[in-house]
Amino acid sequence: MTITDLPISSLINKLRNKEITAREVIENYAKNIYEKEENIKAFISLDIEKALKRAEELDKMDEKKGLLFGVPVAIKDNMNVKNCETTAGSKILKRYISPYNATVVKKLKEENAIIIGKTNMDEFAMGSSNENSSFFPTHNPVNYDYVPGGSSGGSAAAVKGEEALAALGSDTGGSVREPAAFCGIVGLKPTYGLVSRYGLIAFSSSLDQIGPLTKNVKDSAIMLNAIAGFDPHDETSVNIKKEDYTELLGKEIKGKKIGIIKEVMEFNIQEEIKEELNKTISTLVKLGATIMEISIAHLKYALPAYYIVAPSEASSNLSRFDGVRYGLTLQGENLTSTYELTRTEGFGEEVKRRILIGTFALSAGYYDAYYLKASKVRKMLANEFEKAFETVDTLLLPTTATTAFKLGEKKSPLEMYMSDIFTIPVNLAGLPAISVPHGSDKNGLPIGIQLIGSWFKEKELLQIAYAVEPG
Amino acid sequence: MNEYKPTIGLEIHIQLDTKTKLFCGCSSQFGEKPNTHICPVCLGLPGALPVLNEKAVEYGIKLGLTLNMKINKESTFYRKNYFYPDLPKGYQITQYTIPIASEGFLEIKTEKGKRKISIQRGHIEEDSGKSIHTGDITESTYSYIDFNRSGVPLMEIVTYPDIETAEEAYHFLVLLRKTVRYLGVSSGDMEKGALRCDVNVSLSKSNTMGTKVEIKNLNSFRSIRKALEYEIKRQTEMLKNGEKTIHETRHFDEKTGATKPMRTKEELNDYRYFPEPDLPPLLLNETFIEDIKNSLPELPVQKEERFIRQYSLSDAYAYEIASSIELADYFESIAKATGKPKEVANFLMGSIMKFLNETEKTISEIDFDEKKFIEFLSLLEKGIISKGIAKEVIVESLKTGKSPKKIVEDKGLIQITDENKIEEIVQQVLKENPEAVSRYLAGKTQVLGFLAGQVMKKTKGKANPQIANKLLTEALNKIKQ
Ligand SMILES: [Zn+2]
């Protein structure tokens, strides 16, 4: 067993017992990076020198404090890291150096994690394959011909490729869970408001949530311990009591009620994924849980509602990239042409498409028919989930309907949008959900099983996830 | 009489005088070096989020309550989307469907009497940065932007088109400015941009609404009055000639006093309003509002009326003194301490105001406190100084900060009441002015004033005027006999 095989808790134990040094940890991960990064292309920026320096500082500390002491982490490139390039995967922010730390980054640093680099992503988190990155696509470490998923594809690939022990991603419609499923790792999307969004470059503010990508469920819980909590800089963050998310891991789940969503099973799902889902059900039953069928009647409206809400908010959030204060500037003959040149050149196709959709949906005369209606669908969905959680503890469903696809395989935007069909409803309702790797298909591509919990019930959600996680 | 009735509406932006900006901790101080009060939030850097300033909410409620408005316990923030270099996020956070305050009025007083001007809404929003163009905006090749103002809290007050004359608009604004200053929620200084006003005006014969014309670039209350007067005249003439006015935005030219159509094409903007997802709805509880209500100060009009009642001040003095909270507070504390409100008002509106105007100082900058005022009035009352000298003493004290007593002593300004001394001077004056004396003796008794003036001149105003008059008359009568 090498150092890069170790999960977070074992690694920290070895560091604390001085069996290994933080420098050795970074050197081992650096070795993987040198060997694999050329093929994976998980990172937009890497600073191994800085990571090594930080590791040496940690090694000099007498007290090995911090929940993530010496843990090499990768940060999705839409989170601000002070004095580092922060691009959100977009040409419009190329070479933009951030003057401040996102709250999550600050928290990771406080827990003595070592930031090793910033990961590739679909531009402004718009995409499900990482092919929408302005710079280059990331490859799935399981099979380089396949996409790692998106938009946190770089983060998922970095963890799967053992280029980092854990990573942060952001999940607006499945952007943590889908790549986790495609790469065969654990991806958690916390309840909206549990983790501060301050310093996360907004895609869709009412849907975005930062979550960890890790080797296993326990690491996920440890990462959540580090990043969760109220932040006075984010008015949408919720002030609730601090919890230990590892507390219930391994506790028996006898008597838990697990819901299967009737409407999900009506979709076209890859056979092997259905099989893994059934295996999960058997495991749960064996552990004493009860399986129940429940209905989320408006589930099929989630995708269209999402593609109104998210682009609408995005069209506004992306207005600040105008070439005036930072990022790319292409000077035109006047102000309007400067805007046009800069934004035409700086944004990619998918981003432009969503800005156009969003701008249209918010226009006078269309607002009621689109944005307002989509908001109503959201409310209805949330109500249906609320009702479901009156009878069940957790919902079980696939993370995706298919396993990873090949780079360049999906042509139309609509085809791509369908990748997130099972993850999107969770964001619309603001719920927590986790994708746990469970087996693989005939091509050896990983399969992800998704569990959805009730609002702020991450502890219980992680408990079930831990129970179904293959040993 | 104009057969066309003007309908005027005002949109007033009031900068709320909070220490920090509306959504970040930056200072909202005016007049600092450009781009020194900035942070990721008010610069609209990627990833930054707004956090609402509670003080701004409190100030908004204060103003809303004072304008007799309903405070909405749940209001929402919206994004108003448009591109402009001084708008760093590409949208302004403002209120839209439900503002913090709605439906109120302000009662104004004009020569024609009292009138209630209805107010439609009052909402909180953030200010943009400030563009500084090189030369004319339409020809400028580049501009500077100062983001110090970006994110400064504003309260926008929108009236109904309830105002009928330029005069009324002027009175409304004067009273509103007085009110915000009284509340301490804004400096109300137009020249510093702390109060900005757009007006719209339309004329119509019947009760149907005319075509609305908006006027911009109004930098003082005087400009607003002039622009409205001009616009009412212009539109009246057009309508009388059978022409039609068009819906447009016009620019007021300070120099010519005329309004002109805006040269830049007014683009049809669709602001794509939608609820600001970064801010939850603003929920206010009853006690919060109630506490603010209970802390509201007495307002200008109420104070004015009370001054007339309680201190028997003239209408004009009461209005003047109550126009500023500092002046009113000063007056009241001195009036109470001395027990002589009328004298205090006289000196305040006379010598003190004159001094303030000449030195461009405010009442809070001068040092003529209760103690000095009491001392001063007692010097006057005991006849130690004359009324004429009194003015000199006040000015000297205001200038030097010395106490009135010390000034009187140092300058030997004590009134001469010694009859022997005055008699001596009277005799001198009579000797030096034989012509006047003979005219008096011939029955022209009004020369007495001239002679008395000569006595005062010789004593540098220190002679007690009553005694001087008495001795003069006696001496002249002696000669007559
Ligand atoms: Zn700021």
Q: Residues B38-95: pLDDT tens digits?
A: 999 999 999 999 999 999 999 999 999 999 999 999 999 999 999 999 999 999 999 9
Helix (H) / strand (E) element for A424: namely helix A424-429
Segment B208-213 shows an average pLDDT of: 82
CB nearest to A319's CB, from B50, B81, B145: B81
**How much is the pLDDT for B324?**
86
From the number of C-beta atoms within 10 Å of its C-beta (0-12, 13-18, 19+), residue B45 rates as buried
Segment B379-403 shows an average pLDDT of: 82
| pLDDT block averages, 10 residues each, chain A of length 471 | 94 96 98 98 97 98 95 98 98 97 98 98 97 98 98 98 98 98 98 98 98 98 98 97 97 97 94 97 98 96 97 98 95 93 97 97 93 96 98 98 94 86 97 98 98 98 97 82
**How much is the pLDDT for B143?**
85
The one-letter code for the residue type at B199 is V
Q: Do A316 and B272 touch (CB under 8 A)?
A: yes
Q: Do A80 and B47 touch (CB under 8 A)?
A: yes
Q: From the CA of B145, how far away is ligand 1's center (Å)?
A: 15
Q: Any catalytic annotation for residue A133?
A: no
**How much is the pLDDT for A241?**
93
For every residue of A255-291, DSSP letters joined together read: T-EEEEEHHHHTS---HHHHHHHHHHHHHHHHTT-EE
Helix (H) / strand (E) element for A106: namely helix A103-110
From the number of C-beta atoms within 10 Å of its C-beta (0-12, 13-18, 19+), residue B148 rates as buried
Q: From the CA of B51, how far away is ligand 1's center (Å)?
A: 10
Q: From the CA of A327, how far away is ligand 1's center (Å)?
A: 20
Relative to beta strand B153-159, strand B5-15 is: antiparallel
Q: Do A325 and B278 touch (CB under 8 A)?
A: no
Q: Which segment of A262-276, B178-192, B371-385 scores lowest on mean pLDDT?
A: B371-385
Q: Is the N-terminal amide bond of A151 cis, ω within 30° of 0?
A: yes
Q: Does domain B419-480 have CATH number 3.40.50.12780?
A: no
Most confident of B109-123, B132-146, B368-382, B456-470: B109-123
**How much is the pLDDT for B409?**
78
Predicted confidence (pLDDT) at residue B395 exceeds the cutoff of 90: no
Question: A137: which 2 tokens?
Answer: 């696509």
- One of A129, A133, A151, A170 is an active-site residue; which one? A151
Q: Are B288 and B55 in contact (CB under 8 A)?
A: no
Q: Any catalytic annotation for residue A151?
A: yes
B134 and chain A: CB distance < 8 Å anywhere?
Answer: no
**How much is the pLDDT for B137?**
64
Question: B271: which 2 tokens?
Answer: 């602001």
Question: A333: which 2 tokens?
Answer: 């003959």
SS3 content of chain A, % helix, strand, coil (to 5): 45, 15, 40
Give the model confidence (pLDDT) of B397-436 as tens digits.
888 888 888 887 777 777 777 888 888 888 888 888 888 8
Domain spans, chain A: 3-227
Give the model confidence (pLDDT) of B260-285 as tens digits.
987 655 556 899 999 999 999 999 99
Nearest CA-CA distance, residue A183 and chain B, Å:
27
Question: B302: which 2 tokens?
Answer: 């109420």
CB nearest to A201's CB, from B47, B89, B277: B47
Question: B305: which 2 tokens?
Answer: 């009326």
Most confident of A294-298, B215-219, B470-474: A294-298
Strand partners, B200: B9, B214
Q: Do B278 and A335 touch (CB under 8 A)?
A: no
Window 251-270 of B: residues touching A by CB (8 A cutoff) are: 270
**How much is the pLDDT for B310?**
93
- Global pTM reads 0.89
Distance of CA B469 to the CA centre of its chain: 45
Strand partners, A293: A260
Q: Do B49 and A235 touch (CB under 8 A)?
A: yes
State the complex-level ipTM.
Answer: 0.96
> Average model confidence (pLDDT) for chain B?
89
Indicate where chain B has its CATH 1.10.10.410 domain(s): 419-480
Q: CA A463 to CA A226: how far, in whole Å?
A: 18
Strand partners, B463: B416
For residue A423, give the DSSP letter. Answer: T
- Fold classification of A3-227 (topology level): Amidase signature (AS) enzymes (3.90.1300)
Q: Any catalytic annotation for residue A189?
A: no
Predicted confidence (pLDDT) at residue B167 exceeds the cutoff of 70: yes
Relative to beta strand A186-189, strand A433-440 is: antiparallel
Q: Do B280 and A320 touch (CB under 8 A)?
A: no
A337 and chain B: CB distance < 8 Å anywhere?
Answer: no
